[in-house]
Structure 1
């Protein structure tokens, strides 16, 4: 019971879990109706001047809004000062926003989500830009920031700890979304002594066929399947149910880059620790204001929590005793 209490304290509260369920969709929805242009201050400590960092984020209702306010809270804790936090509205005037940022002496913008990036790119190009709240970006090498896709090295470490017999990881991906992530995954697989079987698919039909052939040839004693964040190859409506059904029937471990998939049957997943993500974004923003700013390129998410499906672990014959459970922040179903 003591261990369970520890897990409960670390696990996201129920509204936060629901927020995760809607986050990916929320980041892509149109901006909400017009509201007066103003910044919202999240930090509750002493106000320090000047405030050279501003955050742009989608103006969405709770519980999704808490994801962004947690990230902003981490940024402010790292900077030890308030930031200008601007909720984005449909009728936002970039010129008006740019003027407001100049009045505040802002030097760096942290843009959250695709909405935040779109608005930031319309502002003064002399402003430093750090991005996050995005799982992947085809032209990510043009930007500096941290994406929401967990570092493959962290995923493979968890996999080897749970299923040390795994020797091959199968992944179906769309290179238009995740070519950069697969470069990291190949290096991580090499360091962990596993083979990475990376299969390219540009549409749903190709992805479905590749999964079917992969499962037909899979050896559940040595193979595992990774579900990256990919709208083509991990389509929630058609692909995911097919994959999880086949994985259960064939006892093939499936691990994921999405918290939501654990509740649906994946063995484990990694998901954002939003406060720590904010702290690291604050570090990048600080570095942007130095003579040697950080190099361009998106970093994978390394500030993570971990979720484990106990029912799936039992089905696969994986021992998930108290010591293993304590290493995860969310357990499903809850013991």
Structure 2
């Protein structure tokens, strides 16, 4: 599949304090599209090169599965028989390019894993859920992989005997009671990459709204502890509170041992007011700043991690096979671990981090163009 980079967040004016940070490659720069469509789809990036493996400790609730185990699972007679009957289906948003290519990349990954074509149903916002339910039942569907918020919403009226796995949806919360993979990067992987870049790091500062990010901060605390880091988490319920906290925290931070993390949180990482403030003040303080949103790297953040859509599809397929094989039917929502990484070399140089050619090649997206 032709490589296409897709970012489902609005392209605000480039912000790199002290100068502009330019994107690498016209494909990434030209693919940024309107936020109104983004809200229905999530943030999706198709891979453009091999994914860099970043070591990160597994949480206690994540059971490691080897490729050999997955292949053994696929060869089980009952799983093969069920797959051949079309028991896995995919529901995804009926959207135009460049968004469509991201969902098709996920479907490619699903088919790569199960070695079969899957029934795929593009759905509109006003889909007839009863008709969709009847169609899926007639085809013998046991598991639906719902991609994007629009795809997930379309599965709300399905019969309970049809299991739903969500993928390609940004900021799912535990309260939605959905199995699947959020598009929010796993904090363990973010922190692991940060430690590779800044070995002397001791503390990660984050400002969050519990209503939006409490589940993610719980995971972040575990990840930080496992990597001998302190997570300094501060609650803000509105923009004014977030702005005040950032100013205080950045002013008091130690730029040798501290870093600021920007999660996916529309309250504390609001794009038009909060983000420019945090980027400017962290730049002036030489304080490392990293993000869960790739577009923030374009604006001046040190690095971010973004989805690898094909790999995400493969993981979702493996989970669906597990459901069909009779494994645990209810697993918690998990953050995304199928990731690629973007780096801003100008920001790295500004904080005294000079990356050689070999290190630069370990990143999938580089700003500005070398």
Aligned 8 A contact 1:18 1:63 in 2: no
- Distance in 1, matches of 2:160 and 2:36, equals 28
1:208-227 to 2 correspondence within 5 Å? Answer: 208-227=243-262
The number of residues matched between the two structures is 309
Unaligned runs of 5+ in 1: 1-8, 31-47
Instruction: Give the CA deviation at 1:25.
Output: 4.6
Larger relative contact order, structure 1 or 2 (CA cutoff 8 Å, min sep 6): 2
Matched with 1:33 is none
Please state if 1:26 is matched with 2:37.
yes
1:152-187 C-alpha deviation (Å, 9 max, x unpaired): 111111111111121110001111111111111111
- Distance in 2, matches of 1:160 and 1:150, equals 16
Instruction: Give the CA deviation at 1:90.
Output: 3.7
- TM-score calculated relative to the size of structure 2: 0.79
Aligned 8 A contact 1:51 1:81 in 2: no
Aligned 8 A contact 2:4 2:27 in 1: no
Matched with 1:115 is 150
Matched with 1:100 is 135
Please give the secondary structure, in 2, of the residue aligned with 1:28: helix
Matched with 1:89 is 124
Instruction: Give the CA deviation at 1:292.
Output: 2.2
1:116-161 C-alpha deviation (Å, 9 max, x unpaired): 2221111112101100122222335722111111111111111111
1:1-335 to 2 correspondence within 5 Å? Answer: 14-15=26-27, 18-19=30-31, 21-22=32-33, 25-29=36-40, 49-140=84-175, 142-335=177-370
The 1:18–1:278 alpha-carbon spacing in structure 2 relative to 1, beyond 3 Å, is: farther
- TM-score calculated relative to the size of structure 1: 0.87
- Distance in 1, matches of 2:34 and 2:326, equals 36
1:211-266 C-alpha deviation (Å, 9 max, x unpaired): 11111211111110001111111111111111111111111000111111111000
The 1:241–1:179 alpha-carbon spacing in structure 2 relative to 1, beyond 3 Å, is: same
Unaligned runs of 5+ in 2: 7-24, 42-82
The 1:149–1:88 alpha-carbon spacing in structure 2 relative to 1, beyond 3 Å, is: same
- Distance in 2, matches of 1:116 and 1:83, equals 16
Please give the secondary structure, in 1, of the residue aligned with 2:256: coil
Please give the secondary structure, in 2, of the residue aligned with 1:306: strand
